[in-house]
Amino acid sequence: MPEFSVAPYRELTFDADGDVQAGQLAAVRALRVRDLVVFAHGWNNDRSMATTFYDRFFAPFAALDPPGTTGYVGVLWPAMGSPHDPLPDSAPRGAAGPVDAVGPALRPELDEATRQALRTAFPDRADVVDRLARMLAEQPTNHAAFDEFGLFVRKLAEVPPRGAPASFAQDIEAEDAAPGSTDPAMLFDDPATVCRAFTDALEELGAVPSRAREGAFGIGLDRLWDGGKELLRQGTYYAMKRRAGTVGQLGLGPALGELAERNPDLRIHLVGHSFGARLVSFALRGLPKSVTNVKSVTLLQGAFSHHAFAPRLPHQAGGGVLRGQERRIDGPLVCCHSEHDAALKVFYPLASRLAGDSTGLLGDDPKWGALGYGGIKGVDGTKRLTLAQALAGGLPKDGCVNVDAAAKVRRGGPPSGAHSDILHKELAQVVLAAGRIRA
């Protein structure tokens, strides 16, 4: 490994099916440490960006944690990423100021770096990626073109998690689907209507300039291609959301079980950002029943349903997709959230409403919220703390706890807002406090 901010540091690399790279698990197993902090990144396919992100997040641990007793693991998984993605899940390398995604990248066209990232994420769909890119560049002004665009987005996003049983795939996908359905409505409803909804949201955030509304004979339809690019991004978002669950449950969970079997005294602490928070949460479902080594889980701006852990849902029968999984933790489940996360405030609910019901685009329906914006919902006994209270010793020894991190997680321009503003010493302190790692 190259020089890193903390030591010992290892990596676990998983493919889309959850299979771990040969030899890496043995390298982690060989560590002689008391505590193991395992961090999963969000939507990012670039190994260099992910490891840089880990290096910067872990940097404060060297001064906060007694040396020699803690090991660190970076989880690498094939998540869709692009240097110019309008909703990045990692801060730009070397960035000291706000994370700002506004700029030429938000034009509807896909640059070559984005095309290549999509080809890497979906290696069997290169022709589909190229066709979508051509349409975004040409911006045809007729409804038939939007129908075709929607068809190709659906082809790209409908890649099933290979090797996963059908019932597992449905359970993963059902989190934001309409009752009785596992298909996201945004991929099957009228594409022009969906693109219009995304365009309106982008204009409201100031991520794209406002333009004249469409009229007769295709006038103004070119405006909707801003939303077309967002539909493509949301289609890949849907596919990567499913993949995060697959890698967590079928990959990381069993891997942690093997580590625990070889070292029963090892104390494991899971940390995840954005989709990585979903990944480590689904790892709890993949743990062997006998494993009690997971001592804490810290979710940073988690990009999944705030009802995921609820035993009962307020809007339909049944419970959340992760109901009861917090009981697999021999310690607390800590959810850090921020009202400054525009990605989770605006685009997560919009995508979820579009996935579940494309007829209900307007209004603030609380059933579609993300836990990284407002915290865990529907779990009795969940405590609420400010960041200052958490750092002053307020974290409980077990159960769910929401930590309002808005005092620190606040930087970033539209459309992402503070979604990736997590590189703070205070959040490192939360991880250490949750796991009772400090001596």
Element (H, E) at 260: helix 253-262
What whole-number distance in Å separates Cα of residue 187 and Cα of residue 154? 6
Strand partners, 206: none
User: Tell me: the pLDDT tens digits for 57-106?
Assistant: 999 998 887 777 899 999 999 886 554 444 444 443 333 222 233 333 35
Element (H, E) at 141: none
pLDDT at residue 179 above 50?
no
What whole-number distance in Å separates Cα of residue 46 and Cα of residue 39? 16
What whole-number distance in Å separates Cα of residue 142 and Cα of residue 139? 9
Strand partners, 404: 337, 386
Report residue 101 as tokens.
């995604």
What whole-number distance in Å separates Cα of residue 48 and Cα of residue 41? 12
Give me the pLDDT at residue 366, please: 61
> Do the beta carbons of residue 341 and residue 349 sit within 8 Å?
no
User: Tell me: the pLDDT tens digits for 237-295?
Assistant: 788 888 899 999 999 999 999 999 999 999 999 999 999 999 999 999 999 999 999 99
Q: Which residues contact 106 (CB under 8 A, 6 or more apart)?
A: 86, 202, 207, 208, 226, 229
pLDDT at residue 125 above 80?
yes
- The candidate with the shortest Cα–Cα distance to 243, out of 303, 186, 293, is 303
Calculate the alpha carbon distances from 53 to 43, 74, 224, 273, 338 in Å.
Answer: 12, 10, 34, 11, 20
In the structure, what pLDDT confidence band is assigned to residue 330 with cuts at 50, 70 and 90? very high
What whole-number distance in Å separates Cα of residue 35 and Cα of residue 24? 18
Report residue 42 as tokens.
């969000």
What's the chain's average pLDDT? 83
pLDDT at residue 12 above 80?
yes
Residue 247 φ then ψ, to 5°: -65, -40
User: Tell me: the pLDDT tens digits for 383-428?
Assistant: 999 999 999 999 999 999 999 999 999 998 776 889 999 999 999 9
Pairwise pLDDT comparison (162 vs 255), residue with the higher score: 255
User: Tell me: the pLDDT tens digits for 193-238?
Assistant: 889 888 888 888 777 777 766 655 455 688 899 899 988 988 887 8
pLDDT at residue 322 above 80?
yes
What whole-number distance in Å separates Cα of residue 252 and Cα of residue 256? 6
Phi/psi zone of residue 163: left (φ > 0), alpha (ψ -120 to 50 degrees), beta? left
> Do the beta carbons of residue 343 and residue 408 sit within 8 Å?
no
Strand partners, 264: none
- The candidate with the shortest Cα–Cα distance to 81, out of 114, 57, 53, 105, is 114
Give me the pLDDT at residue 45, please: 56
What whole-number distance in Å separates Cα of residue 436 and Cα of residue 433? 5
Number of helical H runs and strand E runs in the chain? 16, 8
> Do the beta carbons of residue 235 and residue 2 sit within 8 Å?
no
Other CB atoms within a 10 A radius of the CB of residue 424 amount to 18
